[in-house]
Copies of this chain bind each other. A is one copy, B any other.
Amino acid sequence: MPSHAVGVDVGGTTIKVGRVDATGTLSHPRRVPTPRDVATMVEVIAAQVRDLAQPGDAVGVVVPGIVDEASGTAVLSVNLGWRDVPLRDLLVATLGREVAFGHDVRAGALAASVWGAGGDLLFVPVGTGIAAALVLDGRVRGTGWAGEIGMLTVSDPDGGAPVVLEAVASASAIARRYAARTGAAVTGADEVVEAAVAGDADAAAVIAEGMEALGLALADSIALLGSVRVVIGGGLAGGGEAVLGPLRNSMARRLGERPAPEVFAATLGPWAGCLGAGALAMGLSTTGAGEGVGS
C-alpha cells in the first residue's frame, strides 16, 4: 500500500490538489481554477499530479455530481457541464499511471471516517449544494445517484410550490432567503449565523426552516439505519451550534421516541474531498464495526 498519494478534488470553481500521507496530513495544498472543457481539465490535473507526485505515490481524483466509480465515469454534473465523461480512463491515458477515481462527497466521508470523526457515519456537506455519503460497517456505500439528497422535493416554507431541499437548506439558500426576507445585503450564510447568534429573529427563522427540511430527510435515513453519527461539513458547518442545534431539534422531532443520533461539525474542513481522494488512492479503509447481521 502506498504511503502517500496526490489527491485531486475537482470543484465547480476550483480544483484542490495536495499530497496526503497515511495519517491524513496534507502538504503542498493548492487551488487552481477549474477549466470549462474536459481536455483542458485533464491536462491541468495531469500537470498538477506530475508536479506534486513523488516516486511511489498513488493518485486519486474525485469529482462532484453523479459518479460511476466502477467505470470511472463522471455521469452527470450540471455545474461542470459533464455527461458520461470517462475521466478516469482519460487521466490514465494522459498520465500513464493508475488513478483512483471517485465521488467528492463519498471521498470526504471516507476521510472523515479514517481521519476525522471515525467509524460509521453519515457525512453531509452543506455548502452551495447539499449531498450526503454513508460509511457503514467500515465502508463507503453507494454509487451513482446515491447521496444526492439536495434534489429531494420539500415544502416551500414561504408557502409556494414545492422546491428542492438545496433551495431551503444549503448555505447559499440560507443567505439568499435571509436577504429576500430582510432586504439586508448578506453575501454568505456565515453572516446569517452571526445575526442569529446576535438575536436576529429573521436569521434564526431562516436557519430553522432550512434545518427543519434537512433534519427530516436525514432522520428518515437514521430511522432505517439505526445509530449512525451525522457529520455536517461544508460551509454551513462553520455555523456551529447555531446551525447544529436546530438540526438536532428537527431530527429529534421526526424521530420521536427513538434515540436521536449524535450530530457533529466536520473537522477536516474544505480539504476533506482532497484528503479523501488521497485516502481512496492509498486504499485506506476504516476499521469499522462488524459486517451486519443475518449473513
Contact = CB atoms under 8 A, between A and B. Distances in A.
A18 interface: no
A47 interface: no
Given A134-B224, A220-B152, A225-B134, A139 B102 contact: no
Nearest to A257: B151
Contact of A109 (B221, B291, B294): B294
A132 B224 contact: yes
Nearest to A140: B294
A172 interface: no
Given A152-B220, A217-B220, A223-B152, A142 B257 contact: no
A153 B106 contact: no
Contacts of A218: 220
A110 B295 contact: yes
Interface in A231-246: none
Contacts of A70: 290
> How many copies of the shown chain assemble into the complex?
2
Interface string A150-182: 011100000000101000000000000000000
Interface residues of A, number: 61
Interface string A122-149: 1000000000101011111111111111
A145 B294 contact: no
A227 B145 contact: yes
A294 B283 CA distance: 7
A99 interface: no
Interface in A86-143: 102-103, 106-107, 109-110, 122, 132, 134, 136-143
B256 A102 contact: no
A142 B295 contact: no
A203 B98 CA distance: 59
10 contacts: A70-B290, A106-B293, A134-B225, A140-B295, A142-B225, A147-B226, A148-B223, A152-B223, A153-B256, A217-B220
Interface of A: 69-70, 102-103, 106-107, 109-110, 122, 132, 134, 136-149, 151-153, 162, 164, 216-221, 223-227, 253-259, 276, 279-280, 283-286, 290-295
